[in-house]
Structure 1
Amino acid sequence: MSKRLGRGLDALIPSLSVNDDDKVIEVAITQLRPNPYQPRKTFDEQSIKELAESIKQHGVIQPIIVRTVMKGYEIIAGERRFRASQLCGNTTVPAVVRSFSDQQVMEIALIENLQREDLNAIEVAIAYQNLMDKFKLTQEELSMKVGKSRSHIANFVRLLALPESIKDNVSRGTISMGHARALAGIKDLKVQLELAELIINQGWSVRELEEAIQKLESLKDEDSNDGKQAKSKAKKRDPYIESLEESLRERFKTTVKIKQQKDKGKIELQYYNKQDLERLLEMLQYMA
């Protein structure tokens, strides 16, 4: 059996092919509706235009696969052909009618896109979560259906807990799946956002991000030990100092701490690698 597919889907995917014995009908475009379980939310407009040009010249060579629904048909496979046919002004599309359950439709849509690598990491995560929620599947059960490991499913689903701005960047490809996985392991929202900004602005690799996270964890452990000793005599921080810290964080795009003792103190700027240190030094020299 192919490692890419679960047992149920091995049987489902071949059923999307059109055979000589199949009855092909012309379905009015107005009677067709897209698959509501389609995990792909964005389509490459240029590729749709190119397909529309091909359809103008040669017609729709491969019929789409549909199922019967109230007041028409629902597209199971072939949404790009449907969109391209609309674009070039066709009023009908050749189609083959098949019978599928909702769960099969969701699974087919997900597998089709995964095989073509059409989905970004967030779309995959949402598709996995939707399948589990709608059909009460565990991660283990879903992993068997789609032919992926349970840890693979878990790694994607964890991405859904990331802040919206980071998920948007993952969807656009400015933050990779590897970066997103590392960020998902951080509990501090502010740190997540600061590191995401450094990934984008400094072009950090996944390894550089992981090294930065390790350093932050080490600093956190040190601060935790210091905090235990000072906790009993801790005082409410000066709002002016907190506001100043926030302004410096925005200015230097990194974690800033102001430690005050009566009329003196120190300002700490964190850097995460040599390139980040050089960036901070250049900014400080410019301000001098």
Structure 2
Amino acid sequence: MADRKSERRGLGRGLSALMADIGIDAPNNESVERREQTRSDLQYLPVESIVPNPGQPRRSFDDSSLRELSESIREKGILQPMVVRPSADHNGSFEIVAGERRWRAAQLAQLTTVPAIVRAFSDQEMLEVAIVENIQREGLNAIEEATGYRQLIDRFGHTQEMVAEALGKSRSHIANLLRLLNLPDDVRNMVIAGTLSAGHARALVTAENPTELALRVIGKGLSVRETEDLARKVSHTKRRGNADNREKDADTRALQEDLSANLGMSVVIDHRAGGEGQMTIRYDTLDQLDQLCQLLSSVR
């Protein structure tokens, strides 16, 4: 029982140990021994001998940010060494554990060598450090962060609770981000591009038509709360429409669909056996209401 509890406290050999090992977020008053150890471990490796981490959570690198970093590197050099490990697939080369932005910027600055610390990290440790380094230094977007958590869970069999505890996040934070991976690719790309926030996207996870709703949210500039209300309203209307349609004959359903298509608005026909009934037209914007009023006014 004690062994199981210990196992659930963290990932790999512990993120605190890993981060101390490579000096990420080292305190200003770090010991002289630590600084001397870092200097003794420092190597200058050819830029071409380094390859990206295939499991790197970050997939997008902002061009303008990289150019700014490259200008800084030209003037002051690379102040924080990269962390790499020997590559199992490329003889004499190294995989990036932490510092891919610095490596990319160094190439833009036309450096031939870069400072690096070589560590024999396992695949699991490499992924853990890559996730934490990105979150702490240059925040991942929500989809990239969620993808990193999914890798930790799927590749290494960790639970959401273990990942949350090891990375200093709440379990609900991990769970909410992982839900974003259920969205269609086009909606996820909107989050990656920054046109849709993670909060907006989370409100659309259970919607039947998240792409359509995402475009409406962006077009109307809706808040997260308004997006949640929209998703609930559409879901309720859809369920009610499905229930109504099951009770209607084929001609009535076809007429509803034709009118909805022609008007560009939702039309519901409630036709009763005695010949009476009612027709409901739902509009989403004032422009649609004006359009409907003009159509009705033109009827003679």
Among 53, 57, 64, the residue aligned to 1:39: 57
- Per-residue deviation at 1:199? 0.6
Which stretch of structure 1 is more off in the superposition, 209-218 or 114-123? Answer: 209-218
Residues 57 and 145 in structure 2, CA contact (< 8 A), matched pair in contact too: yes
Aligned equivalent of 1:19: 35
Residues 256 and 269 in structure 2, CA contact (< 8 A), matched pair in contact too: no
TM-score normalised by length of structure 2: 0.78
The 3 A distance-change label for structure 1 pair 257 and 163 is: farther
- Per-residue deviation at 1:196? 1.4
Specify every segment of 5 or more residues in structure 2 that has no aligned partner in the other structure, as ranges. Answer: 1-8, 24-33
Among 232, 256, 259, the residue aligned to 2:269: 259
Give the AA of the match of 1:160.
L
Q: Deviations over 1:235-275 (max 9, x none)?
A: 335785476366358x45xxx2342748986352243xxxx
Aligned equivalent of 1:148: 169
Give the AA of the match of 1:280.
Q
Specify every segment of 5 or more residues in structure 1 that has no aligned partner in the other structure, as ranges. Answer: none
Find the structure with the greater CA-based Rg.
2
Residues 245 and 258 in structure 1, CA contact (< 8 A), matched pair in contact too: no
Q: Distance in 1 between matches of 2:262 and 2:214?
A: 18
Determine if the alignment matches structure 1 residue 54 to structure 2 residue 72. yes
Aligned equivalent of 1:64: 82
Q: Distance in 1 between matches of 2:259 and 2:180?
A: 30
Q: Distance in 2 between matches of 1:193 and 1:159?
A: 13
TM-score normalised by length of structure 1: 0.81
Residues 10 and 162 in structure 2, CA contact (< 8 A), matched pair in contact too: no
Determine if the alignment matches structure 1 residue 75 to structure 2 residue 91. no
- Per-residue deviation at 1:226? 5.0
Aligned equivalent of 1:281: 289
2:96 is paired with a residue whose SS is strand
Among 177, 183, 198, the residue aligned to 1:177: 198
Q: Distance in 2 between matches of 1:141 and 1:237?
A: 56
Q: Distance in 1 between matches of 2:255 and 2:138?
A: 49
1:201 is paired with a residue whose SS is helix
The 3 A distance-change label for structure 1 pair 286 and 64 is: farther
Q: Deviations over 1:43-79 (max 9, x none)?
A: 1211211222222223223221111113211111111
Which stretch of structure 1 is more off in the superposition, 49-58 or 208-217? Answer: 208-217
Residues 131 and 148 in structure 2, CA contact (< 8 A), matched pair in contact too: yes
The 3 A distance-change label for structure 1 pair 194 and 213 is: same
- Per-residue deviation at 1:213? 3.2
Residues 82 and 115 in structure 2, CA contact (< 8 A), matched pair in contact too: yes
Which stretch of structure 1 is more off in the superposition, 216-225 or 93-102? Answer: 216-225
Aligned equivalent of 2:120: 99
Residues 6 and 147 in structure 1, CA contact (< 8 A), matched pair in contact too: no
Give the AA of the match of 1:129.
R
The 3 A distance-change label for structure 1 pair 117 and 222 is: same
1:142 is paired with a residue whose SS is helix
Residues 16 and 77 in structure 1, CA contact (< 8 A), matched pair in contact too: no
1:259 is paired with a residue whose SS is strand
Q: Distance in 1 between matches of 2:202 and 2:143?
A: 11
The 3 A distance-change label for structure 1 pair 258 and 98 is: same
Among 249, 264, 274, the residue aligned to 1:235: 249
The 3 A distance-change label for structure 1 pair 48 and 193 is: closer
1:174 is paired with a residue whose SS is coil
The 3 A distance-change label for structure 1 pair 246 and 97 is: farther
Q: Percent identity?
A: 39
